Amino acid sequence: MAPAAQFEAAQPPKDAISSLVFSPFASRRMLVSSWDKNVYLYEVADGAEEANLVGTFTHRAPVMDVCFGADDNEAFLAGMDHQVNRLNLTTGEQTVMSTHGAPVRCVVYSSEHSLLISASWDSTLHVHSTRNPSQKPLSIPLPGKPHALAASPTKLVVAMTARLVHIYDLPTLTSTLSSPNPQQPPQPWQQRESSLKFLTRAVACMPNDAGYSTSSIEGRVAVEWFEDSAESQARKYAFKCHRQAAPEEEGGGDVVYPVNALAFHPVYGTFASGGGDGTVALWDAEAKRRMRQYQKFPESVAALAFSSDGRFLAIGVSPGFETGMEDYSGEGRTKVFVRELGETEAKGKGAK
């Protein structure tokens, strides 16, 4: 088997990467949002081992998150300026979808339900129906600041401070929105406490709608299932990763890195984790095994995404923000790598 190829995108963002997503459609477009206030649109070339910059869209404040909308030419971005914007990738035109009371941390779009959901540090979720753009967004108060957001075909997982995890049912949100007078904000479908003891860093949902995984700042990843049966809940587990043995001279022990990024493979259901140690690992959630660990990247892994066909894994790296940093800049050290996976590289072996 030919060794898998890895290449670097030309013209990487000028500052740290906040998010990176592949188009959920057949194309190989990839959006990267950055702290340098830009959204970058790349396209992985057909056949050639390169990813080219197709467009750059400048926002007025750092962009915290980005996602694709209803098609390849629509995107939504979450801004430090409290705004959620719709971005037309053909014209570059931006329209404000909603305004929060604090910077917007995450934004996701559920194409199944035509819902745009944004989470902000003002501790609210805003839910829009893109079928009815003129309608005011539904605001759902949260018990804590959200840090990560992910949607599966029917569920929405919100991870907050104080290890809170709320799971919303997307069809319920749709029906609440479409009811003539949404008086009461919908209750979460499930309220959970994170299986991890530390601040949640990332959430990703299984493509088969069965569950999700979360990661924390303390080098750990948890895998859980939605189904609320004792059996299903007994299946959940967590494991340590993204740690390095400290040199003996420094007292030994482990240096523990945050796990900044999680992404499920759309076809095989395995998932990748990216950590502050600059490594990316592929895990088989069923078999509870690590399948691969890739050689270290030059900086902390900030974001990860699989292409819709699962052939490519994009890895955004920027310097990690560590405890005690007074200043920070991702300038010149931010890069986007794309790894073309071998046929079975991300295929799990199934439960053992």
Partner 1 sequence: MGKKKRGHPDVEELLSRPWCYYCERDFEDLKLLISHQKAKHFKCDRCGKRLNTAGGLSVHMNQVHKENLTTVENALPNRQGLDIEIFGMEGVPEDIIQQHNQRIIQNFYTAQAERQAATGNPPRGLSGGQGPAKKLKYETPEELKKRLADHRAKVAAQKAAGVSGVPVAAAPADGQSPAQGASPFPPPQPGYPYPVPGAVPPYPAAQTYPPTTAAFPPGAAPPAGATAPFPLPARPPSGPAAAAGAPPYFYNGGAGGAPPPGYPGGGAPSTVDELVANAARQGAGGDDIDQMIRLAEAGIKPGAGRNAADEAGAGEKRKKGSRMVYGDTEVSPEEKMAMLPRYRWVEGAAA
- Residues lying near partner 1 in the complex (CB under 8 A) are found at 1, 3-4, 16, 18, 35, 60-62, 64, 79-82, 103, 105, 121, 145, 147, 161-162, 198-199, 201, 217-219, 243, 246, 248-249, 251-258, 276, 292-295, 320-323, 325, 327-329, 342, 345
The span from the CA of 257 to the CA of 201, in Å, is 11
State which residue, 110 or 279, has the beta carbon closest to partner 1.
Answer: 279
CB of 270 to partner 1, least distance (A): 15
Q: What is the dihedral of CA 98, 162, 209, 307, to 10 degrees?
A: 70
Whole-angstrom distance, CA of residue 228 vs CA of residue 233: 6
Chain centroid to CA 41: how far? 17
Q: How far is the CB of 22 from partner 1 (least distance, A)?
A: 21
**Closer Cβ to partner 1, 198 or 225, answer by number:** 198
Considering the complex, what minimum distance in angstroms separates the CB of residue 199 from partner 1? 5
In terms of CB distance, is 23 or 195 closer to partner 1? 195
Residue closer to partner 1 (CB basis): 76 or 189: 76
**DSSP assignment of 142-166, as one string?**
-SS-EEEEEE-SSEEEEEEGGGEEE
Nearest distance, CB of residue 187 and partner 1, angstroms: 25
Between 69 and 258, whose beta carbon lies closer to partner 1?
A: 258
In the block, tokens 């050639």 appear at 48
In the complex, least distance from residue 54 CB atom to partner 1, rounded to whole angstroms: 25
The answer to whether residues 62 and 78 touch, using CB atoms and an 8 Å cutoff, is: no
Instruction: Kindly tell me which of 7 and 198 has the beta carbon lying closer to partner 1.
Output: 198
In whole angstroms, what is the distance from residue 149 CA to residue 133 CA? Answer: 22
DSSP strand pairing (211-216 vs 237-240): unpaired
Question: Cβ of residue 351: shortest distance to partner 1, in angstroms?
Answer: 21
Return the ∠ at Cα 211 (arms to 209 and 217), rounded to 5°: 135
Token reading at 121: 């540090």
